[in-house]
């Protein structure tokens, strides 16, 4: 569970494990820093960002993730430049500031104008993200939260981002697969709108979960940049509905409707495990209910702005 940071007083100076001193200031409002536990800070004339995380996250990151990435030269991974453990036991990661993220860049319409120029800029961003994912996977690290607001970069005013500045952020929530362990089970990680089918079902999670999220990111970037096709605000709720369960079911319906084929469904059922009879029966029912024509079923249609479940190839 995420915890809210105590206010950082601008009268208190923090010393990082590197020996550098940081004077915290006001909360870092606005993207890509939109949580109360993220603060601006200065050290001399330089600007920094302080991110307060839980002790469990901090220890897991320093013990499992950082050692795997210590020798990386990949410019597309956003790593902290320092860390702090204060007298009260709070754990804080120190980052150099970024000016923006992919989600806000799209919302503010700061990508280049024109279809070709916009396409080239989008491809540069996606290639950088893919290189970052490849670097993580090559070191047996699974990000587990690939989505637009986790892609940070410096974006000068009235300018498209440069490929050198694009970085995949939020690595403190990543998971390391040690030798002999190839997956995690039952961890509901990442944002629900970008989760893979196996992540929604609480099944074994491995590197392919990142690739699924990256695939939906590509679709969002090139087709529907207004919202994820699995976003909660596109799923209508009725009186008495359990929001979490309803959203999970509709997302699975849409995933099957957009991307499913017979071979893939059989593989998903095997992956979930035949011993989970209720889950497998539910998946088989979703497959049977899936429309065989291009129009598909109106899964989630209504005032909530649902999207039709249809073959992605028919878009």
pLDDT digits (tens, 9 = 90+) for 201-214: 888 888 999 999 99
- pLDDT at residue number 127: 95
CB of 143 within 8 A of CB of 89? Answer: no
Q: How many CB atoms lie within 10 A of CB 147?
A: 22
Q: 33-64: buried (b, 16+ CB within 10 Å) or exposed (e) per residue?
A: beeebbbbbebeeeebbbbbbeeebbebbbee
Distance of alpha carbon 161 from alpha carbon 123, whole angstroms: 12
- Helix-helix angle 277-289:262-272, to 10 degrees: 170
**Residue 116, domain member (yes or no):** yes
- 43 and 182 belong to one structural domain: no
Report how far Cα 67 is from the mean position of its chain's Cα atoms.
22
Average pLDDT, stretch 10-19?
A: 84
The answer on 84 and 135 residing in a single domain is no
Q: What is the mean pLDDT of residues 35-57?
A: 90
Q: Residue 113 and residue 104: Cα distance in Å, rounded?
A: 16
Average pLDDT over residues 16-30: 89
pLDDT, one tens digit per residue, over 223-278 is 755 556 666 666 665 666 666 667 777 888 888 888 888 888 888 888 888 778 88
Predicted local confidence at residue 302, as pLDDT: 37
Residue 205 lies in a domain: yes
pLDDT at 162: 56
Please tell me whether residues 116 and 136 are part of one structural domain. Answer: yes
Neighbouring residues of 231: CB distance < 8 A, sequence distance ≥ 6: 193
Residue 155: domain span: 100-259
Q: Provide the mean pLDDT of the chain.
A: 80
CATH number of the domain where residue 168 is located: 1.10.510.10
* Averaged pLDDT, 122-143: 95
- The answer to whether residue 200 sits within a structural domain is yes
Q: What is the pLDDT, as a whole number, of residue 207?
A: 92
Phi/psi for 298 (5° steps) reads -85, 70
**pLDDT confidence of 121, banded at 50, 70, 90?**
confident
Asked whether residue 87 falls in the same domain as residue 111, the answer is no
pLDDT (0 to 100) of residue 117: 82
The answer to whether the pTM exceeds 0.75 is yes
Q: Name the helix (H) or strand (E) containing 272.
A: helix 262-272
Can you list the pairs that 11-20 forms with residues at least 24 positions away whose Cβ atoms lie under 8 Å? 14/41, 14/50, 14/84, 14/86, 14/92, 15/84, 16/82, 16/83, 16/84, 16/94, 17/82, 17/83, 17/84, 17/85, 18/81, 18/82, 20/82, 20/94
Residues 220 and 138 in one domain: yes
User: Which of residues 25 and 83 earns the better pLDDT score?
Assistant: 83
Let me know how long the chain is.
Answer: 315
- For residue 158, what pLDDT band results from cuts at 50, 70 and 90? low
Mean pLDDT for 91-118 is 85
Which residues are 51's β-sheet partners? 38, 93
Give the range among 47-51, 61-65, 164-168, 272-276 with minimum mean pLDDT.
272-276
Q: Using the 8-state DSSP alphabet, how is residue 235 labeled?
A: S
Query: Do 90 and 110 have their domain in common?
Result: no
Q: Give 287 or 137, the one with higher predicted confidence.
A: 137
Who has greater pLDDT, 265 or 4?
265
Task: Name which of 287, 304, 176 is nearest 236 in CA terms.
Answer: 304
Does 34 share its domain with 130?
A: no
Burial (CB < 10 A; 0-12, 13-18, 19+), residue 128, is: buried
- Residue 144 falls inside a structural domain: yes
Q: Based on the fold, state whether residues 91 and 196 are members of the same structural domain.
A: no
Question: CA-CA distance, 20 to 14, in Å (whole number)?
Answer: 8
Question: What pLDDT sits at residue 262?
Answer: 85
């Amino acid at each position: 569970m995420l915890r809210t940071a105590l206010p950082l007083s601008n009268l208190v100076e923090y010393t990082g494990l590197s020996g550098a001193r940081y004077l915290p200031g006001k909360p870092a409002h606005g993207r890509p820093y939109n949580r109360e536990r993220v603060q601006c800070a200065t050290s001399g004339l330089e600007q920094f960002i302080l991110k307060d995380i839980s002790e469990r996250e901090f220890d897991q990151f320093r013990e499992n993730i950082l050692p795997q990435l210590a020798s990386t030269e990949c410019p597309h991974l956003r790593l902290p430049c320092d860390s702090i453990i204060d007298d009260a036991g709070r754990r804080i990661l120190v980052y150099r500031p970024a000016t923006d993220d992919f989600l806000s860049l799209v919302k503010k319409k700061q990508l280049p104008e024109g279809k070709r120029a916009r396409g080239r800029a989008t491809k540069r961003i996606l290639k950088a993200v893919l290189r970052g994912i490849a670097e993580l996977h090559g070191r047996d690290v699974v990000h587990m939260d690939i989505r637009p607001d986790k892609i940070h970069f410096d974006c000068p005013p009235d300018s498209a981002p440069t490929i050198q500045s694009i970085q995949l952020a939020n690595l403190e929530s990543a998971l390391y697969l040690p030798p002999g362990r190839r997956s995690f089970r039952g961890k509901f990680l990442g944002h629900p709108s970008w989760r893979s089918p196996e992540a929604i079902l609480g099944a074994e999670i491995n590197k392919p979960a990142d690739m699924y999220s990256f695939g939906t990111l590509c679709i969002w970037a090139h087709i529907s940049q207004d919202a994820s096709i699995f976003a909660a605000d596109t799923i209508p709720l009725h009186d008495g509905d359990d929001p979490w369960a309803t959203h999970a079911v509709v997302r699975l319906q849409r995933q099957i409707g957009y991307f499913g084929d017979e071979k893939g469904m059989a593989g998903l059922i095997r992956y979930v495990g035949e011993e989970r009879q209720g889950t497998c029966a539910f998946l088989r029912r979703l497959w049977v209910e899936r429309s065989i024509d291009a129009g598909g079923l109106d899964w989630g249609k209504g005032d909530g702005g649902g999207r039709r479940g249809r073959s992605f190839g028919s878009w």
